[in-house]
Amino acid sequence: MMETSEKIKCKEQLQIFQQLVDERRLVQFQIREISMDGLTFIRAIRKDWGTHYFLIDVPEGLWANITNPKKLFIEFEFTGSDKLPYRFKSIGSKKIRNEIWLLFPKYVERIQLREHFRIEVRTKAKFLFGPEGARLSMKVINFSEGGALAEFHPPADGLRGYPMVKPNKTLGNCRLILTSRVSQLTIRVKRSRLVRVTEDPSVQRYFCALQFVEMAGEEKNKLTQLIYNMQREFLRKRLPGQR
């Protein structure tokens, strides 16, 4: 199994913290500086001059051992409602009215264990789904034998007009199409599942994690051979004297 991570920022990160507050979900923490670890939960979110902070349920004896709160470095980990592990780090804090405010992390990592090696797309690739004459198209970022990560660019009104683009939705009649300067390869996927849909608020786009649920044997063999060839080409270019 291979471990990969996805960095979550901005609006989605804030949503994750709000969910932690609402659910009082247990969070594991570790402070290497004083060899301290344990469990806590996030009590609230605060904002001061445009900067976000969060408050934790303070373990007994924690602040007595902290010499410089401004440089406080705490590592956190928890299991989300999607059963995936999440990690983040907070560096820095301040005390306001008997409360210790911890700085929001730069990002939250969502960790996944993958069975399949993922190929970064270095050519034009798209994922099509839906009935003939009304297909939707996504730009493929990477893919493996088990699925793909793609980005979807809807019009200005977001996903309201696209009920198919939501988590746990099963998509039928799918195509993975890769186009180079000299050829085009189409791999047919009978059924796919949208595992996750996350928004990038800075640009009008959504990242969609797709799982290939059902494929004909010959299509699966085509995909396996394609990935093998791309891996071999990647390694060939990296080896000295093989370019």
pLDDT per residue, tens digit, the chain (243 aa), is: 455 678 898 888 999 999 999 999 889 999 888 888 888 899 999 998 889 999 998 777 676 777 777 888 999 999 888 778 899 999 988 877 767 899 999 999 988 765 556 667 767 899 999 877 678 889 998 888 888 989 988 766 667 777 788 888 999 989 999 887 778 889 999 999 998 888 776 677 888 889 999 999 999 899 888 887 877 776 666 555 544
Answering whether pTM is above 0.85, one says no
Q: Contact at 8 Å (CB) between 126 and 143?
A: no
User: 10 Å Cβ neighbour count for 57?
Assistant: 12
Helix (H) or strand (E) holding 210: strand 205-214
In the prediction, which pLDDT does 21 show? 94
Domain C-terminal end among 88, 113, 138: 113
Rounded CA-CA distance 200/78 in Å is 23
CA-angle at 161, arms to 157 and 163, nearest 5°: 130
In the structure encoding, which two tokens stand for residue 166, read together? 């939501």
Domain C-terminal end among 72, 89, 113: 113
The CATH number of the domain where 28 resides is what?
A: 2.30.110.10
Domain count across the chain: 2
In the prediction, which pLDDT does 58 show? 79
* Same domain? 154 vs 100: no
In the prediction, which pLDDT does 44 show? 95
* Same domain? 89 vs 121: no
In the prediction, which pLDDT does 187 show? 94
Nearest partner of 31 among 70, 62, 64, 67, judged by Cα: 62
Tell me if 55 is assigned to some domain.
Answer: yes
* Same domain? 100 vs 29: yes
Tell me if 243 is assigned to some domain.
Answer: no
* Same domain? 52 vs 103: yes
Rounded CA-CA distance 144/135 in Å is 22
Q: Contact at 8 Å (CB) between 164 and 137?
A: no
* Same domain? 60 vs 13: yes
* Same domain? 70 vs 7: yes
* Same domain? 122 vs 230: yes
Residue 10's φ and ψ, nearest 5 degrees, are 55, -130
* Same domain? 82 vs 169: no
Helical residues (DSSP H) of the chain, grouped into ranges:
10-23, 217-238
The CATH number of the domain where 146 resides is what?
A: 2.40.10.220
* Same domain? 49 vs 160: no
In the prediction, which pLDDT does 39 show? 86
* Same domain? 44 vs 85: yes
User: 10 Å Cβ neighbour count for 182?
Assistant: 5
Token look-up 């659910």 returns 23
Q: Which residues constitute the domain of residue 26?
A: 2-113
* Same domain? 124 vs 233: yes
In the prediction, which pLDDT does 72 show? 84
* Same domain? 83 vs 166: no
Domain C-terminal end among 70, 94, 113: 113
